[in-house]
Amino acid sequence: MRRLKILVASHVFVAKLEIERAPKTCAAFTSLLPFRNQTIHSRWSGEAVWVPLGDYQFGVDFENHTRHPSRGDILLYPGGHSETELLFAYGSSSFASKMGALAGNHFLTIVEGREQLADMGNLVLWKGAQPILFEALD
């Protein structure tokens, strides 16, 4: 498997797994597919939505981690200073929590549907929590 389909409300994205750069994170996440949850707008990270995962442990450490995701990057924060979470950047973002700056494992990159990123982010910002689904594509 190299790509995932991501649905946020009516928005459809295709993302490339960053297997070479974050192999353990990719393996841990794909073992949970299909993955369903809710996404909400970030509070401290700028133009991003996030999926809070509480105390869930993926069993991975930091790999290919960044605190400045690019538009269309999806990060997994494996927990530690803040709760475990996914961060999905749709614009300018600097990953943070109420505890301060964070770095997350960049393990997915949007390769199709980038033109929908701003609409998706604004939907979550103005309409509230939205369903998110990650599923295998190929």
Phi, psi (rounded to 5 degrees) for 38: -120, 145
Beta bridge partners of residue 2, listed in sequence order: none
pLDDT in tens, 14-66: 999 999 999 999 999 999 999 999 999 999 999 999 999 999 999 999 999 99
Q: Report residue 32 as tokens.
A: 């949970």
- Taking residues 110-128, report their average pLDDT: 98
CA atoms of 137 and 63, how far apart (whole Å): 24
Average pLDDT over residues 65-90: 96
Is the per-residue pLDDT at 1 higher than 80?
no
Q: What is the pTM of this model?
A: 0.96
CATH topology of domain 3-137: Cyclophilin (2.40.100)
pLDDT over 90 percentage in the chain: 93
The residues spanned by each domain of the chain are: 3-137
Rounded-to-integer distance, Cα 72 and Cα 38, Å: 18
